[in-house]
Amino acid sequence: MKIPITYNIRNLIARRTTTLMTALGIALTVAVLLSIFAMVEGLRSSLAATGHPLHILLMRKGATAELNSIATPEHYQIVKAKPGIARMPNGDPMVSLELVTVIIIESPDNPSGINISLRGLTTTGVAMREDVRISQGRMFTPGRREVVVGKGLARRYPKASIGSKLEFGRGEWEVVGIMDGGRSAANSEVFCDLAQLASDQNRETGLSSLLIRATDEVAMNALMNDLKEDRRLNADAVSEKSYYEQQTSSAAPIQFLGVFVAIIMAIGSCFAAMNTMYAAVARRSAEIGTLRVLGFSKLGILTSFFLESLLLSLLGGLLGCLLVLPLNNLTTGIGSFTTFSEFTFEFRITPAIMLGGMAFAAALGAIGGLLPAASAARKEILAALKQN
Amino acid sequence: MIRHLPFILKNSLRNRRRSALTIVSIAASLCLLGLLLAIYHSFYYTEATPDQAHRLITRNRVSLANPLPLSYGAQIRQVPGVEEAMIFQWFGGTYKDARDPANFFGRFAVEPKKFGKVNPDYKLPESEMQAFINERQACIVGSKTASRHNMKLGDRITIDGDIFPVKMELVLRGIYENKIDNETLFFNFEYLNESLGTTQGLRDQVSTFGLRIARPEDANAVSKAVDDMFRNSPAQTKTETEAAFGLSFLAFLGNVKLILLSICSAVTFTILLVTGNTMAMTVRERVREVGVLKTLGFTNGLVVTMLVGEAIVISLIGGGIGLLLASGGCALLRTLPSTFANFSQISLPPPVIGLCLSIAVFIGIVSSLFPAWGASRRSIVDALKYTD
């Protein structure tokens, strides 16, 4: 016969201070782990949301990022004539020559400024990013020193608001709009006119990269091979999706730190849970004896105390999840050594992450509860009854 | 209190299992706290060595990815207070297999003739230095990297470029010793620059200059003089001390300070909960004993002191073990190939040890004060009647 679970729940409630303190200890451990995971998940999903599945990015051979890549107008002319490229409504091929560089934007938190990616593009380049829409103001006008900023930047940097001026190149650039790129990388970038930027930076002949849209998947593979093998280009073609996905590695140091901290904290909370459970077993010695006299088996006792420990830790896990919930959708930034600029994204606490946190808590409770439960089950009936 | 110390010690070991579990859980948490604080200390409070204090780094104001013209070197040398300015070009690239973290060590192109002047703390035999100066493809490497990869003088080392589309075929001509950086590889900038041919945007460009200044106290004035000189040039500069330069890297990774401090406080709070819980359990068991002690003439104050003393003993033992573990952790960190030079020197500095032990004492006091106070205030009759 099984000991009803209400027995355990009532016990936990009866000893509420101890229960709560132990659960809070577990909750903090879970919270540390979850907040790091929420950060990594936010970065990952944001990078995964960037890029069109049919887009190809062409960079100089050996370049690891657009920033250290070089593409020239000749490259553009060669690529434009290739087969398998999608067309704009007006018949132009969907090939966008782009210039990516880095500018500094100061904020109250970082008076010396943070590096932000600046992308110069043509109207074709803007049109190829269908997921980016202007949420406030308007798009920049070609030929003018005007920029639009990603919504992540606008939220974090007072200097990146409509009407204010950014200083780079040969003058001041006015912020005329804020763009919403869904979850994509455009949220952490600044867009401006290619020709104006190239002339400001003396880079009319040495731009960064080419973005190309293929007509379909089959054409995309053929086009990528074609581009890689063209000796005139001496370039590497990768899919835009994979280019962004590999940047998830920027979060590796923080992820490592988080997991390391959580494991050590877990050792601490696990022993704390064990302590609490041992105390519970010692205190309820007479009760255990009584239960045995009533006919509950050793296994029943073991299961009951084990379940109580699980319940305790799950309560901790739940509290931990609640503790990190306010982080959800909070905007933050992380520096990427690929782009030498900051990538803005939002913390994301998904059900899967919370489930992971609960599982982690349950594991803590299971490890912490096993020995005390076993010691409860091993008690001799008479000794248990006599014990005070 | 001293008179009662043996009593306190005996008491604290009375429930061996509970004390052991509490000690382990405090030790785990304090080990973590010690490690995190040591890392924090190494990042933000490490004193610059005398030679570091003489060094400034000049880079493009925008970012490391934006180069400076080669000609800046000669101009910087003219600034009063600057003894020498040397090209200090990050090369990056891959050594053997990029996936093995042991292969991540810094690779810089420098001017061998000026190397000794700017970096006198990199010690190597005169003959090796001469070979480094005279041979175009010569390179020198730190003893830590040399022993890790079993490199010997005369070995050929190939570094495949990523930012620079060239392959550097180097010959090892010197192995240096340096306390703060024993890992970096240095080779001749001229060799790199000539290999680049006419590659646009890379030839005759430099990411950073290393400056040797006459007097460390002039660092700010010299930095300002250098930056003012290029204020109206297309490529503005930012000059700062080596330490500040290192910190700007860290700031780029994200708000490391905030992350470290919030984890530290979560850890401290967790230990507080764990210890508080244990002490509450201990005291609850002893209420009757407190009655006996008071009958024997122990004052309320003495009872509180004894119970609090017991908690301090336990948390100090845990803290001591934790700190030992943390210093072991530091030793482990020192041997890792590190991206941050700070780790090569990491240890538990006295302020961190002091802080951790104070936290242990603080936790002992706070965790036991309330239960002890409550127990001591019970009247003798109540206490003797108390059943758990």
Residue A147, token pair as written in the block: 């920029």
User: B388 CB near a chain A CB, below 8 Å?
Assistant: yes
- pLDDT confidence of B345, banded at 50, 70, 90? confident
CA closest to A32 among chain B residues: B263
Using an 8 Å Cβ cutoff, are A61 and A236 in contact? yes
Span A207-236, pLDDT tens digits: 999 999 999 999 999 999 999 999 888 888
- Are B274 and A257 an interchain contact pair (Cβ–Cβ within 8 Å)? no
Span B185-197, pLDDT tens digits: 999 999 999 998 7
- Are A28 and B269 an interchain contact pair (Cβ–Cβ within 8 Å)? yes
Using an 8 Å Cβ cutoff, are B306 and B145 in contact? no
pLDDT of residue A308: 93
Average pLDDT, integer, range B301-311:
89
What does the angle CA A54 – CA A57 – CA A62 come to, to the nearest 5 degrees? 145
**Integer Cα distance of B7 and B16 in angstroms:** 15
DSSP annotation of A345: E
Average pLDDT, integer, range B266-292:
84
Nearest by CB to residue B277, choosing from A18, A264, A283, is A18
Give the range among A221-225, B136-140, B238-242 with minimum mean pLDDT: B238-242
Blockwise average pLDDT, block size 10, chain A, 388 residues: 85 87 91 90 90 93 81 94 93 94 82 85 94 94 94 88 87 93 90 93 87 95 94 90 86 82 88 87 87 90 93 95 91 78 88 94 93 90 78
Measured in residues, chain A has a length of 388
Give the range among A250-259, A366-375, B222-231, B307-316 with minimum mean pLDDT: A250-259
pTM, 2 dp: 0.82
Q: Is the pLDDT of residue B47 over 80?
A: no
- Are A62 and B63 an interchain contact pair (Cβ–Cβ within 8 Å)? no
pLDDT of residue A1: 66
Q: Nearest 5°: phi and psi at A309?
A: -65, -40
pLDDT of residue A109: 74
CA A11 from centroid of its chain's CA atoms? 40
B contact test, residue of A59, A261, A284, A327 with most B CBs within 10 A: A261
- Are A274 and B21 an interchain contact pair (Cβ–Cβ within 8 Å)? yes
pLDDT of residue B312: 92
- Are B266 and A28 an interchain contact pair (Cβ–Cβ within 8 Å)? yes
Q: Which amino acid is at B109?
A: A
Query: What part of B 337-366 touches A (C-beta under 8 Å)?
Result: none
Span B252-270, pLDDT tens digits: 776 778 888 888 898 888 8
In the block, residue with structure tokens 């033992």: B317
Q: Which helix (H) or strand (E) holds B314?
A: helix B300-335
CA closest to A320 among chain B residues: B266
CA closest to A208 among chain B residues: B201
Residues 6+ apart with CB under 8 A from B286: B307, B375
* Residue burial A42-54, b: 16+ Cβ < 10 Å; e: rest: bbbbbbebbbbeb
CA distance A89 to chain B (A): 35
A168 interaction partners in chain B (CB closer than 8 Å): 62
CA closest to B276 among chain A residues: A21
Nearest by CB to residue B251, choosing from A101, A110, A264, is A110
Using an 8 Å Cβ cutoff, are A341 and A117 in contact? yes
Average pLDDT, integer, range B108-132:
93
Measured in residues, chain B has a length of 388
Q: Is the pLDDT of residue B101 over 80?
A: no
**Integer Cα distance of B42 and B344 in angstroms:** 10
With 0-12 / 13-18 / 19 or more C-beta atoms within 10 angstroms meaning exposed / middle / buried, residue A317 is buried
B contact test, residue of A275, A315, A323, A347 with most B CBs within 10 A: A275
Residue B86, token pair as written in the block: 């040397």
Average pLDDT, integer, range B364-386:
86
- Are A70 and B201 an interchain contact pair (Cβ–Cβ within 8 Å)? yes
pLDDT of residue A367: 93
B66 interaction partners in chain A (CB closer than 8 Å): 101-102
Instruction: For chain A, give the percent of residues with pLDDT over 70.
Output: 99
Query: What part of B 249-288 touches A (C-beta under 8 Å)?
Result: 251-255, 259, 263, 266-267, 269-271, 273-274, 276-278, 280-281
Using an 8 Å Cβ cutoff, are A190 and A153 in contact? yes
Q: Which helix (H) or strand (E) holds B242?
A: helix B242-253
CA distance A84 to chain B (A): 29
In the block, residue with structure tokens 């899967």: A352
A332 interaction partners in chain B (CB closer than 8 Å): 254-255
pLDDT of residue B215: 92
* Residue burial B51-88, b: 16+ Cβ < 10 Å; e: rest: bbbbbbbbbbbbbbbbbbebebbeebeebebbebbbbb
With 0-12 / 13-18 / 19 or more C-beta atoms within 10 angstroms meaning exposed / middle / buried, residue A388 is exposed
CA distance B383 to chain A (A): 16
